[in-house]
Structure 1
Amino acid sequence: MLERLNDAMEHIEAHLGERIEAADLARIAMTSEYHFRRMFSALAGLPLSEYIRRRRMTVAGAEVLGDRDRSLLDVATRYGYDTGEGFARAFRAVHGIGPGEARRTGAALRSQQRLTFRLVVEGSSAMRYSLVEKDAFRVVGKKARVPLIHEGPNPAIAEFIRSIGREELDRIAALSDQEPAGIVGVSDQLDPSRAEGTELDYYHGVVTGRAEPPEDLDALDVPAGTWAVFESEGAFPQALQYLWRDVFTQWFPSNPYASRPGPEILRVRLTEDGKRAEAELWIPVERSAES
């Protein structure tokens, strides 16, 4: 898997002056575009589109400063921009300064180093997981659109849960009739970049097979498929966020599965003081292309 990811990185470097399609990179890595984007952001710590932009502007910045015989418009065209204005906006977004000013003043620019994925021997502690085949089901509860937060509490989710009220939560909990049992948090419609601050649909509800959920509740239909279920316990919420990271940086590269489109389901049981949690994380998966 790492070798194929590195082949995709080489493709990026060879085509910085052209439009780079995530679908082409996914084909090189022999996986789906959906899984490739998620795997990349988990391993690299930034979205694929942002990495490509930074690499493109890193190389373009070297030409702006080092090749004064080439006009700025020539540099812009070389890296796929039809106008100097569009190039200048992208340049400023990465370097904090426009290309013209950078060339005049010899300003210090930012450099995004090339990414190379290497095997690091970690994994001394085994991850607890199981594979579950589930028939189609529904998530039923209350839904809100919230921002994605990678580390620390998510204030928008916390405020949303507080707004539901205990009686309403009890009514929703009574609808649970299958695993994962009880109240769960469900994340759906995440931005492909997985960038912090992008928005997602968050459901606070239950998993149920009911054909007719109450009309005053939100419902999400989930098709049948395979789920990888991971167990974790530790400090809240860090252990839960690290679990998601470890699934994509350790479990997927070591197993013949890829993520597939679908919601992520998190079941959490907090200690009385709210400082620690036991959790189950359900991720929709499928056998990877090469397995």
Structure 2
Amino acid sequence: MKMMTAPLDPYHARMRRVLDHIDRHLDGDLDLETVSSVAAFSKFHFHRQFKATFGLSLHRYVQLARMQRASKSLAGGEEASVTAIAMDAGYETPDAFARAFRQRLGQSPSDFRKSPDWEPWLAAFRPLNAARSRIMQTIFTPDQVTLRDVAPARVAIFEHRGDPATLDATIQRFIAWRKAAGLSPRTNPTFNIWHSERRPADPADYAMDLCVGLRPDDALHAGEEAVKLGEIPGGRCAVLRVTGDTHNLEPAALYLYRDWLPASGEEMRDFPIYCQRFFLDQPERGTAADLFLPLK
């Protein structure tokens, strides 16, 4: 097995070099021949190698990266016109850019500039973050874990049970319900509770809860029969913060379970590991997540 996996490090290094080149040359020519030469791969096979590595075609990846940069330009207060931003994103006309922008983010470029809706933004670029996380190594250390006494949280729970391949559809239903209920992530925190492994042997056994915190005066609104009231219990927790790509929190969870817990001398409480997601101070930078391991 070691003989087979050892070559992956230089291979991934070459692919990371490709992503770095794309990041630095979004205004330039990023066709197949140009990008494959950066990694010193044959252009005849590179498009298959790229998709196999990242789960996205090169064209799709570049398209998303340019659109993400354009959205950050709009939200970041830059004085460039929508037309100029559209050209930088590779669109021949502002109308074509506006159509693609609205289709992906649910807002026109002008509306997004005035008042960005960050939840659809995060969902739209989740495939881009997931692609990057496939080869980006994440290393955690004990000093990143803190012990906290956590207060109980009253929550509305939106359950997902079954194949994780259908999780995105559940997330979209959850977001739509939360918007209709007037529960903004600015005022009502978002939690995920995992009741199973990320990839159980039988996909039907996958189980997780999408939750939104409720304030004392928040009522549980009708309109979605899957929603129910519940509580995340308070108590001592080991907390690990993840910033940047929070699409896949499995490495952080494995670190808490497999590495930190045995060395800490602590014991787990009878409640699943869960996380709280929140926006960074500059929302265009994405989200962070605090991962909670309940302790006795």
User: What is the TM-score of this pair, normalised by structure 2?
Assistant: 0.41
- Which protein has greater RCO, CA pairs closer than 8 Å, 6+ apart? 1
Higher helix share: 2
Bigger radius of gyration among the two: 1
